[in-house]
Structures are given as structure tokens and as C-alpha cells.
Structure 1
Amino acid sequence: MTAPKPFYTALLASQTAEAAELRRRYERLALVRLFVFLIWVVGLILAFSAGGWWGLLALGLTLPPLVWGVRQHRRIGQRAAAAEVRSQLAAGELRALDHDFGHFDGGQDLLDPAHPYALDLDIFGPHSLFQFLNRTVTAPGRELLAKQLLQPSSEMERARTQVQGQSLGAMPEWCLDFRTLGHGLHDEIGHFQRLAAWLQRPAVVTGRWERTLLLLSPVLSVLGVVTGLLFVPWFVAALAFVPAALLLRKYAEIIPREHAYTAAMGKLLLGYAALLEHASTGPGGADLRAAVPALRRLSYLSSQLDVRYNPFVLLLEISGLWSLQWLRKLDAWREAHRTALPGWLEALAETDAYVSWATLRFNQPEWTEPAFTTEPILHATGLGHPLLHPARRVTNDVEMRTDGHIQLVTGSNMAGKSTWLRTVGINLVLAQAGSPVCALHLRTRPLQVWTSMRTHDDLSAATSSFYAELKRLKVIIEAVSAPDNAVFFLLDEILKGTNSRDRHTGSRALIRQLIRDKGAGIIATHDLELADLEKEPGSHVENYAMEVKTQGDELIFDYRLHRGVSQSFNATTLMARMGIAIPPDEIRHN
């Protein structure tokens, strides 16, 4: 398989050149098209001057090739636009390979601060995991990708994501074509929700006489106009329009209410159809081919109902009951495809999310597939934080049981303890979504991740940061104590909002309770006295440390995890470097 950087570099060059060539051709043909049109108009004038039949013959012979030429010209413009989009996507991926992914959607609106781990692990927002991963082009696909990151997938869902991600990961051009088709779709989840709600609504036009009148209305309109012009007074001919007027009065409130469900959906549905047509050419997509003509039909019907926005629509309503005619056809479409449409949209969302996972696999070929087991263990080697630039990423190993065991990590400020907690957590989230992980090896059983790392006060609820942390810890304790619930917690500097004696006493009690309830996790702390828990008989606590060294006035951070208790202190050193007067004999060094 081609390496990602050469692939995107070559694609950027080829698509930029193709877009420029097609754009030049399009502009040249625009001048030719204008010249041909002027000649065509002059020729028609001369033909009609020679006689009406000659003019009609010339029109019939020249109009089809003229329309064909216009369509060909438009296709060249569309090909140029598609090449421009592909070149932009390739440039965006080259930036992402250099760990500059701020131009992708971070999903800030999807963040729930009360979620078990989304806030602490940077799942959403600027420089988040979602921003790193997200390549979706539809609102349903975006929602599904977020869901996969927010809750562990079932074994079947995880396997399917893994298989589809691997298959599409070997097809980077196919994935880019999918994203090109969806570029500029401007989809919103509200569109999808309206469509789903419309699908469950009853038929609008149901009465027999109403259906009959829909068929007769255009005929009555023609008869009314003809007889009014040729045979009877206009007020008598106007009687032919009375049935349509009565029917419009009956449906005056129903028509706009029904139209609200499909308004402005025509272009979006056409985009869905194009994406599903492409999806049908991918792995396991043959069953989606029937959806393409059906969605294109629905797009057409919806767009025809949108004619209601035209100020002259009243003429169409009176003469042919325009809105009701299309609502009846939409009723028929809904009845025919009510059960199939949700499956098509679900398949579209899945494909959209799979493209993101496939792009991750293609862009990060050095990542590894996690292995799952029923044993209560977590083993990982070379585990790194995926959101850190590879050149600055430091990896560590973790090996522990997940049935009532805790690793206690001590270390100085900025030593990397919090980053290590996030490294473990974010890779567990990826693994349980069906993704590869940023590691040489990872083996674990399915775990529900819980974190308490960032707690803030809430002025609106008169809640201090300490009380907010207590509430968070209470929820984690309840999760750990729930039956058949394998929880893995990541706690950073617990009970930091109280005095040192209370913090130490409370922390010891919390650790013992979590172990007793068979919880497992990693706790980062500055409280070195907690390390004594490892010495207790039958202890399930293991001490690890991340050290900081000093060389003169410089602090050296290696971010390496090792067994034992931290022996380094750097707070006073940092304070002294910032100009805070501390007696030299009170500054502690390694």
C-alpha cells in the first residue's frame, strides 16, 4: 500500500493540474457557447422569416444538439469543481499528517460535561479526538461517529467497524471520492429528524372524491378557460374553478404543515442519493443500489412541492391543485418505502463514519489493532497519546489487573502524569470503538471508562469546585459498585480542594473502597504518603512515578513512567525562576 504522505502529495499535484486544465477548458467553451447561441438565434429568425414550417423544422433539428452541448459544458464545470475539492481534501490531509488538524470539525456542540469521560479526555472541541478523526459529510454520520466515541460498542459493532475500516482503509481514493460527493452538502441533524418524522405521518389525501377531483381539476381548468373565452360569460366559466377552491380551503392549514417536513430537502436528498450510489460500489454495498432511484424520486417530488415558494403559485393551485398533486405523490412514495428508508439512511450514516475510521487507518499505518480478552487485564506496550505530534510523543507501557487493582502515579508538576492518564483513557476509547490504537500492542477486556480530572465550580448552582469533585466521585463510586460493571477510572489529584490532612485521609478511604468494590484504574497524585498503601499486606496498589531532573537552572522532563515513588520536586524551583523570592537553602533539587 502507498504511504499516506506520497499518496496525498501526488493527488494534490494531479488534481490541482486537472482542475486548472478543466477550468481553462470551461472558460474557453463558455465563449464558444455564447457565439453558437447568437448564431442559433440569428438562424432561427431567418428560418421563421422563410416560413413557419421552416422555422419549426430548424428549431426541432438544432435544439437537441444545443441542449447536449450545454450539458457537456456543465459537466466540464462539475469535473473541475470536483478536482478542486479533491485537491483541497488532499492538502487538508497533508496538514493533518503534520498534526495540524484544526481545520476539521471538532464537534464542540456534542460535548456533555457530565459524560463519564468526554470532557477530561478531550473527546470534543479544539484539538480533540473527534477533530482528529472526523471526516464525515452527513449529519447522521457525524452523530454516529460521536456515539461510537461516547460509549463502548458491542462486540458485533466493534468487529464490523474494524472490518469495514480495514477494507476501506485500503481504498483511500474511494474514501476521498465519497467525501468529494458530500462536500458542501451543508447537512444538519434537523433535516434528518424532519425526514424521520415525516416518514411516520399518515397520508394527506385519502378521500375518494378528493382523489377524483385531483384527477379532474386540470381538465376542469382547461374547460373553464376555453368556454370562458369562446362560449359563456367569464363568471359562468369561473364555476369550473369552484371545486378546486373549496378543496384548497379545506387543506389551507394542512398543506404548509406537511410541506414543513420536506421543505428544501430536494438538494439534500439528491446528495444522499449520490453518496449511496457511491457506497453501493464499496464493500458489502450491493444491497444499496435500490435506494438510489428511490431517493432521487423523493428528491424530485420534494423539489416540486417547493414551488409553493413561487409568488405565482396561486395560478398553479387554482388551475391544477399543484400542492395537493405532489402531496399525493409523496404519500404514495412514503407508503412504498416507509420500511426501507430508515435502513438506507442508517447505511449511509455507517458508511460516512467508516470513512473516518478508514482514513485514520490509512493515515496511521504504524498504529496497531487492539486485542480483547475475557481476562481482567490491561496490557499495553509503546502506548502514546494520539493527539501529540509523533516527533514529541513519548510512549510508556502499562500492565495491570482490572479487578480491584490501582496504579498510583506520583510526580512533580508538569512531569506528565495527567497526560499519561489521558493516554490510557483515550486509547481505551479508541479500542472499544473498533479503531486501531496508538501503541505497539494493547490487550484488554471491555471496560467502561470514568474520569475525574477537571472539576469546576458552578456559580449558577452555588457549587464549589471541591463539592463538584465530590459529586463526580460519588457517581464513579456508584458505577464501580454496580453489578456486572467493569469500570476503569482515571483520577487526577483527588480531593485537591481541601486541607492536606483531610485530603490524605479521604484519599486513602476512597482508594480502599474502590478496590473493595473491584474497581480498577490509575490515580495521579502529589500526596507521597499515599504510596505507603503499597506496603500493606495483600495490597492491590502499585506505585509508579514520573520524574523531573534539573541541570543548573534548567528542568529536564523525560515523561517516562517507572516503578516506585517520585523523588523529584520542582515547584519551588519554578517559582524561583519566575521571580518569587525563596531562600536558596529552601529550594529543593533532585
Structure 2
Amino acid sequence: MKSPLSVYQDKIEQYQTALSSIKKKLFASSMLRLAVFLVFAFLVYYFFGNTSLVLLFIFLGIAGFLFLVSRHTDLQQEKEKLKQLIALNETEIKVLQRDFHHLPNGKEFVNPQHEFSQDIDLFGDRSFFQYLNRTALASGKQKLADLLSSNDIHQIKEKQEGIQELAEKIDFRQEFTAIANMVKAKIKSSIILDWLNDYQAFVPSIFKWLPQVFSIVSLSLLIALSLDYIHWWYFAGWFAIGWLIIGRFSKKVNELSHYLGEVQNTFQQYHLLLELIETATFEAEFNQEQQNRIHDEQKKASLLLKEFSKTIDALERKNVLFFGQAISGFMLWDLWKAYELEQWMNQHYNRVENWFEVIDFFDAYNSLGGFAFNHQQYTFPKIQQNQVILKTTEAVHPLINPTDAVTNDYQINKEEFFIITGANMAGKSTFLRTVSLQIMMANVGLPVCAKTCEYSPIKLITSMRTVDSLADEASYFYSELSRLKFIVDEIKNDEYFIILDEILKGTNSTDKAIGSRKFVEKLVNSHSSGIIATHDLSLCEVAKELPQVKNHYFDAEIINDELHFDYRFKDGICQNMNASFLLRKMNIVDS
């Protein structure tokens, strides 16, 4: 099986070859359009005295030119998609080389009040979200952020199957993202949905048939005029009647046209995304459920959205100089297309939200599938329901470069609490975030960075990074107490895995020792499970009285006046601290 790096390199070569071919076709298309224009301009000039032939050549010239413009536009779209595909694969190669800090980091999702996201660097610069995220749509990005922070422990096996399937569907994932990247959204999808739901129709029902009849009469008058059967005044008068009808509704038509012109690109690309989803073959029930949400229609969702997009495009033709004015006066074009758009919205507005949600689902889960593809050495946790909450071998933090990583094995059971001690920089905080990320990733359905993993699903809650707030007039100590109170309240209602880093830092040593001990006793008595890291060795004495508490540590050694870390997770209590050594080593204090 090819490595991800080889796959991406092959894809770039493939798409660059196709791009070169498309560029040649675009040049030929431009030359052909110019030739058609020159030929029909010459014919109109040469036969200028013959009204019938001139009108025929003008009609054929416009029709031919519009066809070639449409074909040229399709080629431009294909060119843009190929450029997007090349860029996607180049990005993946950079990420494999640990160069991902230019990607969107999701800082807008940072929430200090969340159960765990702030503490584990889920969002923000150099975050897990930045490493994982490949969404192309703003709504898909929001969906991915919601998934990662949801603390949802249901359907994990189904999620795993869906992600594993998407991991293998690299062409589906990349084409989806390339098309989605071409959405030039000026208005958020949520606002579009609100507008569709609240829209009030204004075109009378008579326009279901009036434009067609009016067009037939206009065509008949045009033929009669070309054959000199009628005076041109009749034709001009009929044109004026058409414009009077259009003028009565022109303000509302222009408002409708302006708004739909802003969202047309969204619908144009979304119908391609729906078509891609509809034609994909999914075996995982988790993915099939989403696909079936758009299959359960008398007519395919992609075709319905394509019709709507084309009708918007047709309405926009009224803005084409001379041509737009002519079709408006002779065919009541504006009201014809406005009526069709209103009828479409009336029949399908309640389905659009469902379609958008399916698109957001695949935009978000494609990122998860891509992560699984890039990390084929990771393992999908074996989901079970027993006393073991988390048992892993060779576990490591996913954002640490594999060449620098030190792996650890551990097992923590239900109603068990680890107290972890260790010197500064020995690896305690990294270990806490490793465990936290493993739980979050397992709940989402992702593979975890370990050789093996057994997991009994549980929600996560943490207190590792407390900050004071001048704006809220909250001191550091009060903020920390508020966070601990939040944890105590939450575990009354649900089962959580609790991770704490150096609690009660804002008070004196004696008070901290007493308070920390009482808090740990409270958590143990509530039958909770978790980990607490501390520099307070007195807290380790709790293990002598409460068998649920286990002591572990990370060590540091001073060898030849240099500090050495092995980053190994060990049983027992740390005996080597390094604060005094570091103060002396950095010349902060005297030897």
C-alpha cells in the first residue's frame, strides 16, 4: 500500500497534466469565439439591406456565441477545480512535514467556559483543530468545531466505520473540498435559510401562463414585421405594453434579483456537491444515513438545486444590455423567471436546510477521514463497556513530531484517580493533554496516537489552564474556584473523566495542601475517575487511605550539572525536583 506522501505526489502530477490540457482547450475556445463573432459581424454587414437575413444572422450569432461562452465557462470551472486539487495535495504534503501553522486555526471557537477545549489546545494557534481541519465551507468549519467539542459518547463504533470509509475515499474527499473551495459565499448559509423561510411571494398567479402567451404574440408580430405584413408601430406598441407590465413590479423584481445574485454561486456549487454525494457509493451505515437524507426525494436534490441555480442565472440575463431589455419587453422575462423562482422556493424551501446539513456533514467528516488516512499507523480504539476506561500502549501526543516523541503505556479504571507528581518540564502537562486528546478523539470516532487502545466511552472535563479576568473583576483564585465548582456541579448529573493540573495555585502552601486533599477525597467519594497533576507531594498521602488513588510520576535527573528527562510514566512518587537547579542554572539566583 502506498504511503500518503506518495499518493499526494502522484495526485499532483496527475492534476498538473490535466491542467495543462485544459489550458490548451481554453485558448482554442477563445479563438473560436473570436472567429464566430467576426464571421457573423461580416454577414450582418454584407447583407445589411436584407432585413430577414440580418435578423436571422443576429439570432444565430447570439445563440452560437452564448453556447461558446457557456462551454468556455465550463472549461474555466474545470481549470479552477484542478488548481484547487493541486493546492489540496500540496497542503497535505506540508502537513505531513509538520508545516500546518498557515492553516485556519479556529480561534473563533475558543471558549474558556467549555468542558475541556481551552485546556487541551483544541482551538487556536498550533492547535489540534488547525492540524486536523480541511473544511472548505464556513458552515462545515462550524460543524467540525461542534463535533470536536460536543463531548458526545454515542454511536462511536458507527462514527469509526464512517471515518474509516471516508479515509479510503480520497478522490471523493478531495473533489468535494475542491468544489466547496470554489463557493464564493457572500452570505452565510444560515442567513440564506432564514431568508427562504421568511420570503413573501409577490408575483400574481396569472404569470404562470401569461409570459408564454405574450412571447408567442411577440414572435408572431416579429415574423409579420419581417415580412412587411404590419407597420413597425404595432410592434413598438406591443413592446411598450410589455414594459408597462414589467415596470409595475420592477422594484420587487430587482430586489429579488439582487439578493439571488448574491447567493447564486452558493447554489451553483452546492448542487455539484449534492450530485457528488448522491453518486458516491457508501457501505458504512453512518454515511448512508446522511446520503439517504437527500435520496428520499421524488427528484434528486442536486437536480432541484441545479434548476434553481439556472433559473437565477436566467433572471440575471435581464441585466445584459439591449438583450436583457429586449427579452423583458417581448417575453415578460423578469416576471416569468421571478414566478418560477417563487414557485420553487414555495415547494422546496423546507428541504434546503436538510440539504445544507448533509453538505456540512461531509465537509466536516472529510477532515476526519483525511486525518485517518494521513495517520494509518494510529489505531481506532476498541470500544467496550467494562471497568477499564482507557488502556493504551505506546501512546503519545499527536502534535509531537514522531521523531521526538516518547511513548507511554497506561491503564486507568473506573472510580480510579491518578495523582501525578514530577519535576518541572518532565512531561506531566503533556501527558494530561495526551490523555485528554485521546478521550476526545475516541469520542469523535478518530483513531488515536497509540499502538493499541481499549476504551469505555466517557465524557471529559478538565481544569488545567485558569486565567483571571480584569473585565469581570475576577481574581485568579476566584476563577479557579469557579471552575472547580463547575466540575462538581457537572459530575452530579453525568459521568465524566476529570483531569486537573495543579489545583488551588492561588493560595498558600498549607491551605493548598488541605484544600487539595479535601477536593480529591470529594471526587473519589463521588465515584469519579480522573487524573490530577501536582507538585504537592503531601497530596500523595491520600493513596494510603483511599485505595482508588494511585501515585505516578515523571522523573528528571541531574547528570554532570545538566538536567535530563526521560518522559516516562512511572509508578510511585517523584523524589527529584528541579526548580532550585533551574534558577541557579539560568543565573536567576546565586549558586
How big is the shift at 1:372? 2.1
How big is the shift at 1:137? 1.7
Contact 1:47 1:55 in 2 (8 A): no
How big is the shift at 1:418? 0.7
Contact 1:412 1:568 in 2 (8 A): yes
2:285 matched to 1:273?
A: no
Residue of structure 2 equivalent to 1:132: 131
Of 75-84 and 557-566, the range deviating more from structure 2: 75-84
Contact 1:205 1:327 in 2 (8 A): no
- Over 3 Å counting, the alpha-carbon distance change for 1:371 and 1:152 in structure 2 is farther
How big is the shift at 1:421? 0.5
2:471 matched to 1:460?
A: yes
304, 325, 347: which one aligns with 1:294: 304
- Give the 3-state SS of the residue equivalent to 2:462 in structure 1: strand
How big is the shift at 1:433? 0.8
- Give the 3-state SS of the residue equivalent to 1:505 in structure 2: helix
Equivalent residues in 2 for 1:134-153, closer than 5 Å? 134-153=133-152
How big is the shift at 1:303? 4.5
What residue identity is the alignment partner of 2:191? R
Equivalent residues in 2 for 1:195-214, closer than 5 Å? 195-201=192-198, 203-205=200-202
TM (normalized to structure 2)?
Answer: 0.85
- Give the 3-state SS of the residue equivalent to 2:530 in structure 1: strand
Of 122-131 and 31-40, the range deviating more from structure 2: 31-40
Contact 1:533 1:541 in 2 (8 A): yes
Of 549-558 and 256-265, the range deviating more from structure 2: 256-265
How big is the shift at 1:471? 0.3
- Over 3 Å counting, the alpha-carbon distance change for 1:387 and 1:399 in structure 2 is same
2:409 matched to 1:397?
A: yes
After superposition, the C-alpha distances for 1:103-136 in whole angstroms (9 at most, x for unaligned) are 3222111222211111111111111121111111
2:420 matched to 1:421?
A: no
Contact 1:273 1:291 in 2 (8 A): yes
2:360 matched to 1:349?
A: yes
- Give the 3-state SS of the residue equivalent to 2:198 in structure 1: coil
> How far apart in 1 are the matches of 2:515 and 2:426?
24
- Give the 3-state SS of the residue equivalent to 1:474 in structure 2: helix
Equivalent residues in 2 for 1:467-486, closer than 5 Å? 467-482=478-493, 485-486=494-495
2:561 matched to 1:553?
A: yes
Contact 1:547 1:568 in 2 (8 A): yes
- Over 3 Å counting, the alpha-carbon distance change for 1:462 and 1:63 in structure 2 is closer
Of 105-114 and 51-60, the range deviating more from structure 2: 51-60
> How far apart in 1 are the matches of 2:242 and 2:412?
85
555, 572, 584: which one aligns with 1:576: 584
> How far apart in 1 are the matches of 2:239 and 2:146?
62
> How far apart in 2 are the matches of 1:383 and 1:436?
12
> How far apart in 2 are the matches of 1:258 and 1:506?
65
Equivalent residues in 2 for 1:221-232, closer than 5 Å? 230=233
Of 132-141 and 488-497, the range deviating more from structure 2: 132-141
List gaps (5 residues or longer) in structure 2. 283-287
> How far apart in 2 are the matches of 1:213 and 1:441?
70
How big is the shift at 1:212? 8.8
> How far apart in 2 are the matches of 1:339 and 1:522?
47
- Over 3 Å counting, the alpha-carbon distance change for 1:512 and 1:237 in structure 2 is closer
What residue identity is the alignment partner of 1:142? K
- Give the 3-state SS of the residue equivalent to 1:495 in structure 2: coil
Residue of structure 1 equivalent to 2:12: 12
Contact 2:207 2:336 in 1 (8 A): no
Residue of structure 2 equivalent to 1:587: none
Contact 1:266 1:302 in 2 (8 A): yes
Of 127-136 and 416-425, the range deviating more from structure 2: 127-136
List gaps (5 residues or longer) in structure 1. 584-590
Of 324-333 and 109-118, the range deviating more from structure 2: 324-333
Contact 1:412 1:546 in 2 (8 A): yes
- Over 3 Å counting, the alpha-carbon distance change for 1:146 and 1:75 in structure 2 is same
> How far apart in 2 are the matches of 1:481 and 1:525?
24
> How far apart in 1 are the matches of 2:199 and 2:495?
45
Contact 1:245 1:318 in 2 (8 A): no
Of 467-476 and 47-56, the range deviating more from structure 2: 47-56
Equivalent residues in 2 for 1:96-495, closer than 5 Å? 96-153=95-152, 155-156=154-155, 158-187=156-185, 191-201=188-198, 203-205=200-202, 230=233, 262=260, 264-282=262-280, 283=282, 284=288, 285=291, 288=295, 290-303=300-313, 325-378=336-389, 379-403=391-415, 405-482=416-493, 485-495=494-504
Contact 1:125 1:131 in 2 (8 A): yes
How big is the shift at 1:516? 0.9
> How far apart in 1 are the matches of 2:139 and 2:325?
36
How many residue pairs get aligned? The number is 571
How big is the shift at 1:11? 1.6
> How far apart in 1 are the matches of 2:21 and 2:217?
55
- Over 3 Å counting, the alpha-carbon distance change for 1:159 and 1:548 in structure 2 is same
After superposition, the C-alpha distances for 1:442-496 in whole angstroms (9 at most, x for unaligned) are 22222121111111111111111111111000000111122xx111111111011
How big is the shift at 1:203? 4.4
2:530 matched to 1:530?
A: no
> How far apart in 2 are the matches of 1:256 and 1:305?
10
After superposition, the C-alpha distances for 1:160-213 in whole angstroms (9 at most, x for unaligned) are 43222211211212211111112232447x521122213433642386679898
Contact 2:208 2:336 in 1 (8 A): no
What residue identity is the alignment partner of 2:139? P
RMSD: 3.8
Residue of structure 2 equivalent to 1:48: 47
> How far apart in 1 are the matches of 2:431 and 2:531?
9
> How far apart in 2 are the matches of 1:247 and 1:210?
12
Residue of structure 2 equivalent to 1:517: 526
How big is the shift at 1:332? 1.4
- Give the 3-state SS of the residue equivalent to 2:582 in structure 1: helix
What residue identity is the alignment partner of 1:90? N
After superposition, the C-alpha distances for 1:61-112 in whole angstroms (9 at most, x for unaligned) are 7777766655555544443333222221111000111121123222111222
Of 34-43 and 82-91, the range deviating more from structure 2: 34-43
- Over 3 Å counting, the alpha-carbon distance change for 1:217 and 1:463 in structure 2 is farther
Residue identity (%): 28
Residue of structure 1 equivalent to 2:285: none
- Over 3 Å counting, the alpha-carbon distance change for 1:575 and 1:205 in structure 2 is same
Of 204-213 and 28-37, the range deviating more from structure 2: 204-213
Contact 2:101 2:126 in 1 (8 A): yes
What residue identity is the alignment partner of 1:511? V
- Over 3 Å counting, the alpha-carbon distance change for 1:256 and 1:14 in structure 2 is closer
- Give the 3-state SS of the residue equivalent to 2:558 in structure 1: strand
What residue identity is the alignment partner of 1:475? F
- Give the 3-state SS of the residue equivalent to 1:397 in structure 2: strand
